Amino acid sequence: MLNKYARAFFTRVLTPFAAFLIRRGVSPDTVTLIGTAGVVAGALVFYPRGEFFWGTVVITLFVFSDLVDGNMARQLGRSSRWGAFLDSTLDRVADGAIFGGFALWYAGRGDDNVLCAVSIFCLASGQVVSYTKARGESIGLPVAVNGLVERAERLVISLVAAGFAGLHKFGVPGIQWLLPIALWIVAAGSLVTLVQRVVTVRRESAEAEAAAGPQAGGAAR
């Protein structure tokens, strides 16, 4: 849902900024690299110290590069396999840094092994969810399923919760529990999404093999 509606809205909003960068001679790949570096820095510098509010502010400023670079490529008419590959690869790096930052906090000063494990599960499951779709498509299957919690949902739930949880340091009581709740939601949702995609690939694979069976048999005769 977020991919369908929020992405379209922010793409329209960010189009003038993308055009400005193009006029300044900035390339889409440069925006991708800078955006990822900013997200990684925000996550791994602030989150392990428990600075969730400022970490989220920094990450949010850079995470929109994921929309800006694609917008620039379309305006330039330069959409390419390399650009898509770079963007997708660095998305995984950014996601890993965010949940890795949470894990480092709970493994250290946050002192909660269970939430550290949940953060690691969110990190790993997010990578595997993305891999299942990429791998399914690489063997010729459409993987036609909208998962319960995809990348956009994972980021929004986690970053909004982290940002609000960070207000605890400004004297807002009890709000720090939003982040643990969000991590459990993301973990459960990612597991459901992984199952959805595996089941879909299994079904589509069986359908493709059933459709190819009679043709293969006819060719053999």
Q: Output the CA angle 84-82-144, nearest 5 degrees.
A: 35
Check whether 7 is labelled as a binding-site residue.
no
Check whether 66 is labelled as a binding-site residue.
yes
Phi, psi (deg, nearest 5) at residue 28:
-60, -40
Of the residues 91, 95, 111, 112, only one is catalytic, namely 91
Check whether 195 is labelled as a binding-site residue.
no
Q: Is the dihedral of CA 117, 191, 88, 23 positive or negative?
A: negative
Query: In the annotation, is 91 catalytic?
Result: yes
Check whether 112 is labelled as a binding-site residue.
no
The helix/strand/coil state of 64 is coil
Q: Where are the alpha helices (DSSP H) in 108-150?
A: 113-138
- Token output for 60: 């949010």
Check whether 29 is labelled as a binding-site residue.
yes
How many helical (H) and strand (E) elements, i.e. helices and strands, does the chain have?
Answer: 8, 0
Q: Is the dihedral of CA 53, 34, 80, 77 positive or negative?
A: positive
What is the DSSP annotation of 147-175?
-SS-HHHHHHHHHHHHHHHGGGGGT-TTG
Catalytic residue positions, numbered: 91
* Residues in the annotated binding site for a CDP-1,2-diacyl-sn-glycerol: 29-32, 70, 74, 80
* Residues in the annotated binding site: 29-32, 66, 69-70, 74, 80, 87, 91
* Residues in the annotated binding site for Mg(2+): 66, 69, 87, 91
